[in-house]
Amino acid sequence: MPTPSGFHARRAALRMLDAVLRRGETLDQALGGATQDVRKPEDRALARAIANETLRWLVDLDALIDSATAKPLPPDAKPRMVLRLMLAQWLRLDTPPHAVVATGLPLLAGGPRRLAHGVFATLTKREAGLPDQPSLPAEVAARWQERAPEIARGLAEPPPLDLTLRDPARTAHWASRLGGESLLPGHLRLPRGSAVEKLEGFAEGEWWVQDLAASLPARLLGNGEGRNALDLCAAPGGKTLQLAAAGWKVTALDMSKRRLDLLKANLKRTGLAASTVRADALKWEPRHSFDAILIDAPCTATGTARRHPDVLHRIHPRQIAEMAELQTALLERAKDWLKPGGTLVYAVCSLEHEEGEERAVEMDVPLAPILDAELPETLAPTSEGWLRTDPGMLPDHGGLDGFFVARWRAPSDFR
């Protein structure tokens, strides 16, 4: 029997799902191996979309499957894995049921196809549906507590495309040219699905892709006027580009050669300048102190669940504790590299208090509270003077990633 069209994309999606749920890999890590026999870019994109939507709605997909089986299937049983993919295609990607069956059941070659077909047929006849927002895994909902319902609302759809402009003075120009919405100077939001490399201004380096929330930490350092700034854990470089465009003399440090190469490519495309250093921030010693330090620290990245729903299923207390320990070590080292009067900004794209608020209260440098005027009109600092964003915020504008940001300023007699 010939292989049905689209089968390879579905098999790649199944491999990605298995890599995330069974081995704890990220979707990015799983993508290369899972799609090695998928030749067309559009089929690779489809495989990623199927895996993304399956993971986004996994709890609710499982509830549908369980409602149509006399005996619950084991969580890692292959029929359940395949049914998850089939339902995600039908309910989230609007794939016709006959096409779902034709490309899904061959994934169970030599296995219980009749069971999977029967469950899927039962649910389609029942005209089953998904709730308005995805249900969170119980462990995740318990961690996020009262914030969980609002965050879940923000996870229902993949995010739009955010751009940071090299020249904020040209915001109106690029909003007109690209047909986007701007939520603050230097920012532009376009509908998801835009082909980045084909957009006007990309080749000329007029902008780079960066979520609105991710662009806020660098903005809190203001204009550089030729002063020295350190971007710690800098790659792939969105914040380095922001600092360079704002007039800072930037040292960008990261330990990953691959990610630093991306940073260098972005610098070349935009025509911006920064000194790059490949080193471990916990061992590196700078030659001089800095007027500003930005730490976009390694973290669990649970705040990026809109675009990386795998974090909902592979991040657990052990990973959170490990990241919190690393973040404390980075803050302790970096604060000693500040000049008197220098400013330190700490940010994580995490929704976990252990990586945000609990790290901020440990700092013994005076806080420089974040002000309302420094943020988009729809956002506000916390009562402590920090910034906390959640995916459920800005619901009328497409949401934003979850971030925690805090800022400190060294006194004039520092050290």
Q: For helices 78-92 and 41-56, give the axis angle rounded to 10 degrees.
A: 100
Q: For helices 58-67 and 113-125, give the axis angle rounded to 10 degrees.
A: 100
Residue 224 structure tokens: 């550089």
Instruction: List, in sequence order, every beta strand (DSSP E) within 308-402.
Output: 338-348, 387-389
For 276-301, give the DSSP string.
Answer: EEES-TTT---SS-EEEEEEE-----
Q: Residue 301 and residue 260: Cα distance in Å, rounded?
A: 19
- Return the SS3 of 228: strand
| Catalytic one of 47, 311, 349, 370 | 349
User: What is the distance of C-alpha 107 from the center of its chain?
Assistant: 30
- Return the SS3 of 230: strand
Alpha-carbon distance values, 309 to 57, 193, 268, 303 (Å) = 9, 17, 32, 10
Backbone torsions φ then ψ of 256, nearest 5 degrees: -95, 120
Q: Residue 2 and residue 17: Cα distance in Å, rounded?
A: 25
Catalytic residue flag (residue 349): yes
Of 123, 382, 345, which Cα lies nearest the Cα of 246? 345
Strand arrangement of the beta sheet that strand 403-409 belongs to: 275-278, 249-254, 228-232, 290-296, 338-348, 403-409, 387-389
Residue 198 structure tokens: 């084909």
Q: Summarize the chain as % helix, strand, coil (round to 5).
A: 45, 15, 40
Question: What burial class does residue 325 get, using C-beta atoms within 10 Å of its C-beta: 0-12 exposed, 13-18 middle, 19+ buried?
Answer: exposed
Owner of token pair 């990623």: 48
Owner of token pair 């973040």: 327
Catalytic residues: 349
